[in-house]
Amino acid sequence: MTKHEIRSEKDVIARLANKTEFERAVLVATFGIPKGRVSTYKKIAEKIGRPRAYRAVGNALHKNPLAPVVPCHRVVKSDGGFGGERRGAESRRSLLEKEGIPTENGRVTISEDIVV
Q: In the annotation, is 72 catalytic? A: yes
Rounded-to-integer distance, Cα 46 and Cα 48, Å: 6
Q: Give the distance from CA 45 to its chain's centroid.
A: 11
Out of 60, 69, 72, 76, which one is annotated catalytic?
72
How many CB atoms are closer than 10 A to CB 94? Answer: 12
Strand partners, 38: 115
Strand partners, 105: none
Which residues participate in catalysis according to the annotation? 72
